[in-house]
Each structure stands twice: as structure tokens, then as C-alpha cells.
Chains A and B, each alone.
Chain A
Amino acid sequence: MKAALFNPIRYSGSSPSGWPVAPSAYDLEIGQRSMLNGLENLRLADEIGFDWVTVAEHHYAGFSLTPNPMVLAGALTQVVKRAKIALLGPTVPILNPIRVAEEYAMLDNLTGGRIIAGLLRGTPNEYVTYNVNPAESRDRFEEALALIRRAWTEPEPFGWQGRFYQYRSIAVWPRIVQTPHPALYMSGSSQESGAMAARNRVGLGLAFTTVPLASVAAKFYREEANRLGWQPDPDQVIYRMGFHVAETDEQAMADMVESGAAKPHVGLTMANKAVLAGAMSSGYFGKAAEEQKERVAPRDAVQRIEQGQILLGSPDTVWKQIRRVRDEVGAGILDLFPIVPIADRTRCSIELFGAKLLPRLHEN
């Protein structure tokens, strides 16, 4: 197995709940420190042997200060010397796909081909950000995926007459370094997305879900791929979850309680009832919408451990939790984000994970 450290660059001060959050709640000093701490954690993860470092796109709230993960990845190219830099990823349907292809190509050149290219639909609230209809999200996504692949691999200038995208001439410089292009992933918790990942032969990312739901989704994806004549390898399934490791189980839980992270928290889309209602009626979550909504239902720390949403405890306890994800989901990549927003505890947790868990993980 491999491990990635995902850092959404959470705003470390207090910020009001809801979405969007008023910019007036942003304290400049705290915000800047949050960003530098995040960068330092990712640098540290590279130094102590994490296989990937991960960044993602979210807007308009303290949950994540990386509305453009490509910008953060640009900074990471200068401090992350060994690990792959995974973008999981840009919210493609609300962006200009050619711009996404170009930015990936720049990053791939800056890292000598160490970029992992996630292409995501994102959370439904992001469609408010750039005023895009979430009902068209899947169709926009699938077209953008085909377009980005072509833009990376076509040696001559070409035009594109799509349903959602139209370009008279495309010729991406710099060229992408990896052949034929970086490993591609998309999120695939619903059957619709799992089927799309299988027919486009891209890897599957499972995030903000539960182990039981992720197991079903991963199985469906593999079966679809087999039906279409190919077999995803273990590295083509990523499972994202929170983590906090301390010397003892008690200390780990005490850190959670002290930071306030043990309480149930409400996700970005759920934080705005109107956005959630709009997303539900748009068909964003696919046919099994209620089940998909259940993935992100607020849960306390104990429930989150039970559901396999977080790794929490001593190294030995966490190792057991990791084995469950490996055995039940079959994920080859664990994409782990810190859940205790206290800078020195997070650092200790990352270091402990590196010392006690990475060697075991790499053997399995």
C-alpha cells in the first residue's frame, strides 16, 4: 500500500458555520499562518516518506484555503523533492479544461513527471462558486476528460467542437512529461461515476464516504472494468480519510476532544440548505441520492471510527483500522488528512505515522 498526506490547508482560526462564509471572518495573520503550516506539513510528509502529497479545490470557507490547488502545487514543486504531488483535484466542470491541461503540464515539467492528475466533479456547492448548473456536471465532466486527454497527447494543433466546450485551436505547451499522460483519477462513490471511471479507464477516488459504502462502490467499479475488458490495479483505488495518531489511544482521543474535532461536523454542501436542496433536485448525486447524502451525514468521532471515516489512536490501533480499509475496500492508496487542527499535535501525528506506520504500510 501507499500513503498520501492530504492537506486541504484548513483555516486554523474560528470561523462561522454555513457556506459561503463571509470574508470578514478571515483573520489575515491566522490565515497566512495556516497556509504556511500546511505547506510545512506537506514538506515534512515528503521528508519522512509519504508516497504522495495531496491538494484539492474548495471555495468560500475555512475548510480549505486552496480555491486553486494548482497554485499550491506550484509552491510544492519547490519544497517536495521526492513524493508525487497529487491534485485530487481541480473541479473540472466549473473550470476551463484547457487551462487545467496546461496547468498540469506546467506542474509535470516542474517536477520531472511527479504529478498525479485527479479530475473531480467536486461538492455541489462549488457550482454556485462559478455559476455553473450542477445538473450538467456529469456531461461536462466526461467531455472535459476526453478533451484534456486529447490536449495532452495530440501532437498537432486541433479544434474541439463539443457540447459544452468549443475551441478553434488547441496546442498545449509545455507538453506533459509522463507518457502518455499522468495517472488519472476521478471520484466514484455513485454507480454513475463508477461506471464512467470504468469506461474511461481512469482510477477511482473514494472520499468523504464510509468503508461499507466505499466497498460497494469499489466492487462495482472493478466489475464494470472487468466487463469492459480491463482490470484496475490496486493503486487505481484511493480511499481518503481523516487521521490522528498519538502515542496512546487515550491521548489521540483527548487531542480530538480538546480541538473540538470530536463533535459531529457539517460538510460544505449540507451547511447551506438551499444549495443542498438545489443539488438534490438537479440530480447531482445520481440515482441513489439519499444513500450518497448519507455518506456525508454528521457523525461524532466514535461513529466516524466505526464507519471507517477516520484513523484514530495509537500506531497499533491505527494499523488495525488501516487493514480494514485494505481488506474491505481494496484501496492501494490511503489519502490521509489531519483532523486535529492544533499545529504541534498535527506535526507529531504526521511524524508518528511516518515512523511507525509507513514501513508497515509499504510492506503490505
Chain B
Amino acid sequence: MTEQSTVSAFVERKVEAGGFTIRYLEAGRKSDDSAPVICIHGAGGLRLSPMHEMLAKTHRIVAFETPGFGASPANERSRDMAELAGSLCAAVAALGITSYNLMGTSFGGKLATHMALQDGEKVQSLVLLSPAVFRPSERPPMGTPEERRKVMHAHPERFPLASANPEVDSKQEALVRRLIGPPRDAELEQKLPGLAVPTLAVFGSEDRLTPPDMARFYRQHYGNAHLMLIYDAAHLVDLDRPEAVTEVVGDFLARKERFLVSEQSGVIHP
């Protein structure tokens, strides 16, 4: 393992798993009793948001860079999503983690779903942010930077997505195109009802890439899914409204399904 400080509380490390050298960013308390949160990024690659920083105050966060993304060599070896998920499960195991919470964003939501199916009871909860397991048959136009910005953000003035590296982008896009599968994945859908892990599927009310009308399919197919709409957020919910996302995700990580019942006091003055 190598170690290098980043500007945030996160530290960069690497782990060998499944024949890959996998980079990851880590922060938060290791001594905590609660299981760590394993984060699987979307098609745009590994990025941290204010949500990760806020969650790191209460949880140990491990954000993997999926093989084939970022500066890692092009991944031509993983034949499908299940196999790629297997490599990430191996990375979790290589870190000595035997019980964990899993968070997947967009493309990473589908990858995390495959991981949850493989790792079974090790996974305490599954959080899916703008997940791409069920997708509309048509995508909104994203050809120009302006079109892309409009699809990704409802509030680009808050935490805009960093500008892309075209070379890295095209490598990542090729991998995503090869692995993501159809908008409705019959083979995966068959397995979903057996997924008993408490699942929170989070959607931005203004998301046009994985629109909130897709949310209902998670409720209908996953074994134990709760839906949460983030008002006035687009695809990058954790950049558009990080406080709102962190509050509900943090509560779900802490209390699982009991997050339904408020513990906030209504007392105005004692």
C-alpha cells in the first residue's frame, strides 16, 4: 500500500485485488463500531463531494476507484458488471473489512447492486444515488458542455463538477458503454427480489438522466427498497444539495429502516 495526503480529510491509498491495483480515498474514524461505508463512483470517475466530507465526520469512508477509471490502465479484462463487482468485493476483503455499508452512484449504483448480490450478509445497507439500474430508453442531449451541465446540475453555482480530461473521459466512456447493459436488464432483475438488504434509492426531482419516474422500479424489484426524492436537484444530487442528501443518507446508515420514524424533537422551548 502507498499513502499520500490529499487537501481534504481523505487520504489516498492503494490495494491489490483481483489482479488490479485499486486506488481508493479514505477518511473517518477506524475505531468506530459502525461498519464503514464503501463508495462506488459513477461513469464520470472517482470524485469527492461535500457529502463525503460530512459523512466522514461520523463514518469511516472508503471510496474506490473502479479499475479502468481515472489514471488506472484501460480495463479490458472485466467481462461484465458481475465480474467487475467481484474485483471490488475482493478489494473490500483485502482491506480486512467483513461488514460494510455500500453506496453506489449512477453507473456505480448498478455495480454496487452486483456487489451486494455477491457479498450477501456482509452488506449492512445499500444506498443508491441517482442509480442507473433502470434507465429510460432515451438519454437527454449531452453533446455540448452546456447540455452536459444542464443534465448534471440543477444548481451548478453550488459545487460545479470539475472540468473533464478528454483522454480519461473517452477511456471511461468506452468501459461504461461496454459493461452497463440495457436500460432494462432482465438477468439482473431476476435476482433483485432476493436482495434483502435495506436499500435507499435517492433521486433528484430534476434529474433527466435517471429521472425520478424510474424510482418506482427500485421499489417494485428490489427486496427492501425505500425511495427518496431530493427536491430541486438534478443527476449529481450530492453536489446540488449535499446537506439534504447527507442528512437522509446519514440517518439511513445509522438507523436503517428505522429512519422512517423521526427522532427529532418538536419541543420549541422547555
Contacts and interface: CB of A to CB of B under 8 A. Distances in A.
* A joins B in a complex: yes
Interface stretch (A153-161, A254-262, A328-336): A153-161
B228 interface: yes
B215 A147 contact: no
B247 A161 contact: yes
B139 to A, nearest CB: 20
Interface string B124-160: 0000000000000000000000000000000000000
Nearest to A159: B228
Given A161-B244, A168-B259, A169-B226, A156 B231 contact: no
Given A156-B216, A156-B220, A168-B260, A146 B248 contact: no
A47 interface: no
Interface in B80-105: none
Contacts of A162: 231-232, 244
B260 A169 contact: yes
B215 A163 contact: no
A143 interface: yes
A114 B244 CA distance: 37
Interface in B216-242: 216, 219-220, 226-232, 241
A150 interface: yes
Contact of A161 (B216, B245, B261, B262): B245
Given A146-B205, A168-B260, A168-B262, A160 B229 contact: yes
Contacts of A161: 228-231, 241, 244-245, 247-248
Contact of B231 (A155, A157, A160, A169): A160
Determine which residue in B212, B215, B216, B231 has the highest number of CB atoms from chain A within 10 A of its CB, and name it.
B231
Contacts of A165: 231
B233 to A, nearest CB: 9
B229 A157 contact: no
A162 B219 CA distance: 20
A145 B260 CA distance: 23
Contacts of B262: 168
A163 B219 contact: no
A159 B205 CA distance: 11
A157 B228 CA distance: 9
Nearest to B226: A159
A155 to B, nearest CB: 6
A169 B200 CA distance: 12
B78 to A, nearest CB: 33
Contacts of B230: 161
Contacts of B241: 161
Contacts of A150: 205, 212, 229
A154 B216 contact: yes
A32 to B, nearest CB: 35
A163 B241 CA distance: 9
Nearest to A147: B231
Interface string A158-182: 1111110100110000000000000
Nearest to A150: B229
Interface string B198-224: 000000010000001001100110000
Interface in A165-202: 165, 168-169
Nearest to A160: B229
Contacts of B216: 154-156, 158
Contact of A156 (B227, B244, B247): B227
Determine which residue in A158, A160, A161 has the highest number of CB atoms from chain B within 10 A of its CB, and name it.
A161
A146 B220 contact: no
Nearest to B231: A162
Contacts of B229: 150, 158-161
Given A161-B247, A161-B248, A169-B260, A156 B219 contact: yes
B15 to A, nearest CB: 33
A150 B203 CA distance: 13
A256 B247 CA distance: 58
B232 A143 contact: yes
Nearest to A154: B216
A341 to B, nearest CB: 40
Contacts of A146: 205, 231
A158 B213 CA distance: 11
A157 B205 contact: no
Contact of B248 (A154, A157, A159, A163): A159
Contacts of A163: 231-232, 244
A158 B245 contact: no
A169 B215 CA distance: 13
A165 B229 CA distance: 11
Given A146-B205, A161-B244, A169-B226, A156 B232 contact: no
Determine which residue in A147, A150, A157, A159 has the highest number of CB atoms from chain B within 10 A of its CB, and name it.
A159
A97 to B, nearest CB: 11
18 contacts: A143-B232, A157-B226, A157-B227, A158-B216, A158-B219, A158-B227, A158-B228, A159-B226, A159-B227, A159-B228, A159-B229, A161-B228, A161-B229, A161-B230, A161-B245, A161-B248, A163-B232, A163-B244
Given A154-B216, A158-B229, A161-B228, 4 more contacts: A147-B231, A160-B228, A162-B232, A168-B260
User: Which 7 residue pairs of A and B lie closest in terms of their CB atoms, listed nearest first?
Assistant: A162-B231, A156-B219, A159-B228, A158-B227, A156-B216, A168-B260, A161-B244
